[in-house]
Each structure stands twice: as C-alpha cells, then as structure tokens.
Amino acid sequence: MEKTCKCGEVGVIRRSTTKKIPGRLFYCCTGKGAKCGFIDWVDVDNFNGEKTEKSISPDLQKSLDELQHENRALRLLLVFSWVFLCQF
C-alpha cells in the first residue's frame, strides 16, 4: 500500500536505525526538491512486502560504510604515492 507525502509524491519506505526503534519500517518524503517532513509508520499487519529503500541490515550497512571509508583512504594514498614518485 503506497502512501503519498505532503509534496504529492509517493513516499519511500525506509528502515529505522535508531536504538529506540531499530528496524521498524516507515514511509517518508522522497526528498526530490524540498523535503516536506512527511513520516508515517508502516502498518506491519497490512504490509505486503514492498521493497524498502534500504533493505539491508544495519550491521551490513555499517560494514559497507567502513569499506567505503577504507576505499577512499586507499585511493588518497595511491594519489599521494604517484605524486611523490613523479617528483623523481
């Protein structure tokens, strides 16, 4: 069941990552343009398995973020090493 935000757009489903209510699904504004602040909890009893925007677990998301951070650091190190080597 799709829900429409105050902007008139179809809201997207996201998963809460807060410690108070981890993993709970909610609808929110798509954020195209200015966000309207729309939020509404997904009724689990009537939920038909719509795909969430972030359908991965918080632990997996944390691992992904760590790998992306490490990747950026290694790319930066590679650039600096090439700059250093090109000086000789």
Using 50, 70 and 90 to split pLDDT, how confident is the model at 25?
Answer: confident
Which segment of 1-15, 32-46, 50-64, 69-83 scores lowest on mean pLDDT? 50-64
**pLDDT given for residue 38 in this prediction:** 80
Write down the CATH number for the domain with range 1-55: 2.20.25
Residue 54 has pLDDT above 80, yes or no: no
% of the chain at pLDDT higher than 70: 80
Where in the chain are the domains?
1-55, 56-88
Residue 10 has pLDDT above 90, yes or no: no
Q: Which residue has the higher pLDDT, 82 or 9?
A: 82
Across 17-27, b (16+ Cβ under 10 Å) vs e yields eeeeeeeebbb
